[in-house]
Structure 1
Amino acid sequence: MKFINIYIVEDEPLIAATIETALLKQGYTVVGDAEDVITALKDIAILQPDLVLIDIQLDGEKDGVDLAIELDKQQIPYLYLTSQTDLGTIERVKATQPLGYIVKPFTENGLRTNIDLAWHNYEIQNAGFLILKSDGRTHKINQNSILYLKAFDNYCYVYTATRSYLVPHTLKYMSEQLNDAIFVQTHRSYWVNINHIDSIESNKLFLKTEPIPISASQKHLVMSKLKGS
């Protein structure tokens, strides 16, 4: 199971605690929770979870469907937590794009199975793309368009020809999501898309943007990768 950060939106504290306990036992990380839409949106912008679990029926003027609409705009994946609901709400749900539904009451195994299957399908649908969070938004970027990634303390920069993204993850974490057929590590602080390499010197390579260092320990791997591309 891939490491996933999950945020819970549930207005029943006991149920929220039960969900969190079950998720932690299954190896997931829970980054936070909220009982209402406004708090959830503020937290999600800061915490940038990979996946959000949304109870449809929430306290306040806005419900889980309202939250889902906002998450669709930001391309943040989510699953609904549902119990029996009225036809009007079901019609509103049809206009949103959840990864799936977890029906209440649920078991720990059922919770894990629903999340694992939903996340697996999500990754298949986004194969060839890098999903990253930057500036409070989730971006879906074609990996072919990425020039290189650069470490920045516990963060990482992702560079394309048109812009850069500062991502709240380490370079190691981001590199694990790259297509290893087209990316190679040239230095402890850099991963480069070999399709965008223009030339190589003894200790650096050149893209259309700037020179990238090549460490002595990585040079053989870089050259092998280029010859095989």
Structure 2
Amino acid sequence: MSKIRILATEDDPIHEEKLRMVMATLKYDLIDVIVDPHQVIPIIRATNPDVLLMDVDLNSDISGIDLVNKINELYDIPTVFLTSFHDAKTFNKAKETQPAAYITKPYKADELERSIELAVFSKQKETKGIISTKNDRIASHFFVKDGSSLTKVLLSAIRYVEAYDKYCYIHTQHKKYMIKERLKNIADQLPGHLFLQVHRSYVINLEAIDDIQLTQSKLSIGDKEIGIGKAYRHALLSRINTLG
């Protein structure tokens, strides 16, 4: 079994050193301990960690709680808060991000280990449940709310899904539907053999692609040009059939 890969944030050198020692003792794969919170999302994009260990006070213009809120909009990674804050106000605010655990410093190695293991186990169980549910639920279509009606939309008719603020637009050739859902929630309900995320804001129907411009890292679906994010490029190229 591969090691659990962990990305952590910590601005205090003493706590950072302790964390590195604990990770080494527990034999986890510690990707890095990040001091600057503005580097966290790009590093997540590049490394795809299994668990985030997040400090609350990052000595920055953004708190760990605010950072996790941003991360949750883009990725589905379990978070364990490691913090010196014991007060109810901070805990309740952190709770809104739906973390896997909230651990106050000082902590014991076995306490952190159990929290990490539970976070990974819960995520694996959730993923298996999604796959099972998808296989049971998705056939060839689903219904979306269109005004006061529920309209049948064929999966094969969906060309791409576009995230916009707290909404998403499902685009077919002749119409688009606005859905009040996060992109990753919609992506979880689409069959993986047909749909793929190629950008933080786009999930596409692979069969709808008309052209891929490799040097410009973008693809075309009809008149729509969609950028290909660096983190998604390899997955896209591995899924398409090429000749020559």
- TM range, normalised to the smaller chain? 0.5 to 0.7
Moved over 6 A (4+): none
> Please, which runs of 5 or more residues in structure 1 have no aligned partner?
131-137, 149-159, 170-188, 191-208, 212-229
Is the 8 Å Cα contact of residues 8 and 54 (structure 2) preserved in structure 1? yes
Matches within 5 A, 1:49-198: 49-74=49-74, 75-129=76-130, 145-147=191-193, 162-163=205-206, 166=232
- 1:168 Cα deviation (Å)? 6.8
Contact 1:147 1:161 (C-alpha < 8 Å) held by counterparts: no
The answer to whether the Cα contact below 8 Å between 2:10 and 2:54 also exists between their aligned partners in 1 is yes
Matched residues in 1 for 2:97 and 2:130: separation? 22
Is 1:31 the counterpart of 2:74 in the alignment?
Answer: no
Structure-2-length-normalised TM-score? 0.53
Identity %: 25
State how far apart, in whole Å, the 1-side matches of 2:184 and 2:21 are.
30
Aligned partners of 2:81 and 2:126: how far apart in 1? 19
The yes-or-no answer on 1:46 pairing with 2:46 is yes
- 1:210 Cα shift? 6.8
**TM-score scaled to structure 1, two decimals?**
0.56
**Counterpart of 1:18 in 2: which secondary structure?**
helix
Shift in CA distance, 142/63, structure 1 to aligned 2, threshold 3 Å: closer
Aligned residue pairs: how many?
A: 156
Cα displacement string for residues 67-120 of structure 1 (whole angstroms, at most 9, x for unaligned residues)? 110121122321111233444423321321211122321122221111112211
C-alpha distance 86-161 of structure 1, shift in aligned 2 (>3 A): closer
User: Runs of 5+ in structure 2 lacking a partner?
Assistant: 132-182, 195-202, 208-230
Higher mean C-alpha deviation, range 63-72 or range 11-20 = 11-20
RMSD, aligned α-carbons: 3.4
The answer (yes or no) to whether the contact 2:34–2:40 under 8 Å persists in 1 is yes
Inter-partner Cα distance in structure 1 for 2:126 and 2:67: 23
CA distance in 2: counterparts of 1:167 and 1:28, whole angstroms? 28
